[in-house]
Structure 1
Amino acid sequence: MARFVRHPHVVVHPPALDGSRRVTVDDRLLGLATHLDDVVRLLRQVDLDRVEVEESDLVEWLGGGAEDWA
């Protein structure tokens, strides 16, 4: 019997007017990021520190990618 492992759905939302981006996991707000390092820090707080933020299929970037910060 196959087992399905559920992975968290991480979303980095489009930049706000101030340049910050909301980061959510499964619709739960983790916080605001103003740089890629902030996204890594926020994910570390919920034990997702092994996620390759820029390349992982677990992270959905809306309104631009990891290099897009206003």
Structure 2
Amino acid sequence: MSDAIRVVVHPPSPTGGRRVRVDGETLGLAHSVVDVAEFLRRAGLEIDPAEVAGTPWIDWRGVGPERWSPET
């Protein structure tokens, strides 16, 4: 994986889910690491869902990969 690729998973939205961006382009609203892996696959970046949480080239904003719903 190239260090030049920037994947950002934004904090949970008020309605749930997290926006996923690659190199500034929004790929969609993910509700799990499986969704993140699917968005990345569609963008040509193959990754196993089991590896998404620990991948150093994904920038988890606000909170880590364990949280997908808004703070209550």
Give TM-score, length-normalised by structure 2: 0.81
Equivalent position of 2:9 in the other structure? 12
Greater C-alpha Rg: 1
Gaps of 5+ in 2: none
Amino acid at match of 1:24: R
The two structures, once aligned, show a CA RMSD in angstroms of: 1.5
Would the aligned equivalents of 1:7 and 1:58 in 2 still touch at CA under 8 Å?
no
Identical positions, percent:
42
For residues 3 and 38 of structure 2, what CA distance do their matches in structure 1 show?
Answer: 22
Of 36, 45, 49, 1:39 maps to 36
- Which consecutive residues of structure 1, in runs of 5 or more, have no partner in the other structure? none
Q: Which runs of 4+ in 1 moved over 3 A?
A: none
Name the structure where helix makes up a greater proportion of residues.
2
Q: Report the Cα offset of residue 48 of structure 1.
A: 1.0
The 1-side partners of 2:19 and 2:37 are apart by 13
Number of aligned residue pairs: give it.
Answer: 66
Paired residue for 1:61?
60
Letter in 1 for 2:63: G
